[in-house]
């Protein structure tokens, strides 16, 4: 065998050095994570966005006030940019499966080249205790979960910390800050509601004022048309639900009606263009297809994948109601009151009472303090009705509302001037 030319040999030596250095760094980080007392297991993940990435199972008490009640494994994703970089803790409100993707990177981590600690919410996906005892699914316990994770990983990442989350995750970031104000330096909740009741009461008036009268009429006319065509569309609806294997706690006609009521909320939430709504003269196929695209009946199924969210909403996070007045003539239901309890809660929790103390705690915290926080909302998002847009006169709390925006509002979707201000403000805070 001929010896390699000198230049190739040098290149090979260099590449082997780089590879060995990288692998040793990986090993060092993994070893540090494994040495955290509450960590049960660590598994490497592929990543195209970070230097290293791991899925970690973190042992948490079922009840932080009474650790003797047992524990469960909480899934945490650790994505490493550098020990000298700031750290973003994503306070996910649901499951973490999507964050496992090699190409996933949360917005703030990308903007500021930050580490990412992504925490799956208790009682979702792989972070669900067995048996599933609902009494431990509380805001306080979820805040304590985050506190435990943050405290543990600050031993690895001593720089500035930013908490963030989207929707229910943004709500979680907000309540986490209220329970543990000093855990993080900055909080950026996206489209985070702060509801005051199971049927908060602010969403229905919001939907009566959103956008223009012309667009609102187009939406209402479509809802009425779906109800008027019930005799022909309900059999299709029944067939569709049967094929999907959906099981409900109410007669199918009622579920059909609830899907109609949900339609306007869902359309505005996700920013569907009103121009895509079929006309009242459209075919049954066109009307039915669009109706299901916007208001999928799986939302109301018994034992929904979102059941943990519904339990939290009924217990202390709050939710929204429906205005049935424009549709009363065609509805099979006389009232939509308490629909969350009736349709979406586990049967054993059907009489659950709403606890107003969490909302009061958060409002008091925001009024009496001025933490470094940036709230992002979409103008047309119905959840904005329960947003903290009422906060005024704060030095550190900033609220940005994207004109015409939906539940998809992010820093990247803001108008340029707002976007520049938001990024500059966060940069200033993490450089202090």
Q: For 241-288, what is each residue's pLDDT tens digit?
A: 999 999 999 999 999 999 999 999 999 999 999 999 999 999 999 999
Average pLDDT over the chain, rounded to an integer: 94
User: Does the pLDDT value for residue 13 go beyond 80?
Assistant: no
pLDDT of residue 1: 44
What is the per-residue pLDDT for 28? 86
Which CA distances in Å does 142 have to 72, 91, 180, 181, 386? 13, 9, 11, 15, 21
Kindly calculate the radius of gyration of the chain based on its CA atoms and give it in whole angstroms.
Answer: 24
What span, in angstroms and rounded, lies between the C-alpha atoms of 215 and 404? Answer: 13
Q: Where are the domains of the chain?
A: 30-195+358-431, 203-349
- Are 192 and 174 within 8 A, CB to CB? yes
| Confidence band of 2 (pLDDT split at 50, 70, 90) | very low
Distance CA 255, CA 300 (A): 7
In this predicted model, what pLDDT tens digit does every residue of 83-128 receive, in sequence order?
Answer: 999 999 999 999 999 999 999 999 999 999 999 999 999 999 999 9
Query: Which distant-in-sequence residues (6+ apart) come within 8 Å of 101 by Cβ?
Result: none
**Does the structure show a pLDDT above 80 at 182?**
yes
* Whether the predicted pLDDT of 25 surpasses 50: no
Do 384 and 206 meet the contact criterion of CB atoms below 8 Å apart? yes
CB contact set of 26 (below 8 Å; sequence gap of 6+): 44, 52
* 295-328 pLDDT tens trace: 999 999 998 999 999 999 999 999 999 999 999 9
Model pLDDT, residue 12? 52
Query: Are 119 and 89 in contact, with CB atoms under 8 Å apart?
Result: yes
Strands 71-80 and 161-166, sheet pairing: unpaired
289: pLDDT strictly greater than 90: yes
Residue 7 has pLDDT above 80, yes or no: no
**What integer pLDDT is reported at residue 27 of this predicted model?**
60
**Which pLDDT score, from 0 to 100, does residue 303 have?**
86
Instruction: From 52, 56, 54, 88, select the one nearest 74 (Cα to Cα).
Output: 56
pLDDT band (50, 70, 90) for residue 24: very low
Q: What pLDDT was estimated at residue 6?
A: 55
Q: Which two tokens stand for residue 323?
A: 């205005």
Count of C-beta atoms within a 10 Å radius of residue 66: 10
Phi, psi angle pair for 8, to nearest 5°:
-70, -40
The CATH architecture one would assign to domain 30-195+358-431 is 3-Layer(aba) Sandwich (3.40)
Higher pLDDT, 251 or 5: 251
**pTM for the structure as a whole:** 0.92
pLDDT at 125: 98
């Amino acid at each position: 065998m001929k010896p390699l030319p000198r230049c190739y040999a040098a290149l090979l030596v260099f590449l082997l050095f780089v590879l060995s250095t990288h692998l040793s760094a990986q090993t060092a980080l993994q070893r540090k994570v494994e040495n955290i007392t509450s960590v049960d297991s660590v598994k490497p993940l592929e990543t195209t966005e970070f230097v290293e990435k791991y899925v970690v199972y973190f042992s948490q008490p079922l009840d932080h006030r009474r650790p003797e009640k047992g524990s469960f494994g909480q899934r945490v994703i650790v994505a490493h940019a550098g020990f000298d970089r700031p750290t973003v803790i994503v306070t996910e409100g649901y499951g973490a499966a999507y964050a496992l993707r090699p190409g996933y990177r949360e917005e703030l981590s990308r903007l500021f080249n930050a580490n990412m600690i992504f925490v799956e919410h208790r009682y979702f996906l792989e972070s669900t205790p067995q048996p599933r005892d609902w009494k431990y699914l509380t805001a306080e316990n979820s805040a304590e979960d985050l506190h435990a994770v943050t405290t543990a990983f600050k031993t690895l990442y001593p720089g500035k910390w930013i908490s963030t989350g989207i929707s229910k995750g943004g709500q979680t970031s907000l309540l986490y800050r209220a329970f543990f104000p000093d855990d993080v330096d900055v909080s950026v909740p996206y489209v985070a509601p702060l509801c005051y009741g199971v049927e908060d009461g602010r969403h229905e008036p919001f939907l009566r004022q959103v956008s223009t009268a012309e667009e609102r009429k187009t939406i209402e006319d479509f809802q009425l048309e779906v109800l008027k065509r019930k005799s022909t569309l309900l059999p299709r609806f029944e067939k569709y639900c049967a094929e999907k294997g959906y099981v409900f706690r109410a007669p199918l006609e009622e579920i059909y009606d609830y899907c109609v009521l949900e339609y306007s909320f869902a359309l505005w939430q996700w920013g569907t263009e009103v121009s895509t709504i079929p006309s009242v003269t459209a075919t049954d196929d066109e009307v039915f297809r669009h109706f299901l695209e916007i208001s999928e009946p799986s939302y109301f199924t018994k034992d929904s994948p979102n059941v943990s969210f519904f339990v939290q909403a009924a217990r202390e996070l709050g939710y929204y109601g429906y205005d049935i007045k424009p549709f009363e003539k065609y509805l099979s239901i006389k009232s939509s009151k308490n629909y969350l309890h009736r349709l979406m809660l586990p049967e054993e929790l059907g009489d659950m009472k709403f606890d107003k103390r969490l909302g009061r705690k958060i409002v008091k915290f925001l009024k009496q303090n001025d933490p470094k926080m940036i709230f992002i909302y979409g103008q047309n998002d119905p959840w904005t009705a329960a947003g903290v847009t009422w906060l005024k006169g704060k030095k550190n709390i900033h609220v940005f509302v994207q004109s015409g925006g939906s539940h998809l509002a992010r820093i990247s979707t803001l108008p340029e001037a707002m976007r520049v201000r938001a990024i500059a403000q966060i940069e200033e805070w993490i450089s202090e």
